[in-house]
Structure 1
Amino acid sequence: MRVWVDQELCTGDGLCVQYAPEVFEFDIDGLAYVKDPDGELLTEPGAQVSVPPELRLPVIDAAKECPGECIFHSESAKPS
């Protein structure tokens, strides 16, 4: 599974960071971004990361609960 955040929709509530801090983090702009497996914040628009199997449920829950509806996930790569 792959996940990405649309920062234009992000409200900065932080539920994603609470659900899956290994995958999501805030940048200095107060918006959520995904992190690569080494913990590096990916700030490019549309940046996506693979989700380890043990974090799939927290990431799906974060997407469901996100007030901005800005978290997207897919079993394959994001369409261009």
Structure 2
Amino acid sequence: MTVRRMEAAARAAVPGLRVQAGGAVLTQRAMDASIERDLRRAELLAAPLLFPVLVFAYGSVVSALLVDAPEARPSMPAPATAGKDNG
């Protein structure tokens, strides 16, 4: 039985009763939804404000757009391990 069905059954059993589910799982779900909504809002506000700064810093619109593109990053060789064979 889902939480919503349990709430509905409790309300039907006692008319006028205020029923609200709680607990760690429901609290975590509510917090996750709130955090996701807040992060989305922050990203939507920060992007237009940050773009002119990136254009100024990198000198062109194309460079500012490529700053976080994975394809724009040079591939780094694997680091050499010193003293690999100590035998």
Q: TM-score range by the shorter chain?
A: under 0.3
User: Which has the larger share of helix?
Assistant: 2
- Rg larger for: 2
Higher fraction of strand: 1
Superposition TM-score, scaled by structure 1 size: 0.21
Q: Between the two structures, name the one with larger relative contact order (CA 8 Å, sep ≥ 6).
A: 1
Per the normalisation by structure 2, the TM-score is 0.19
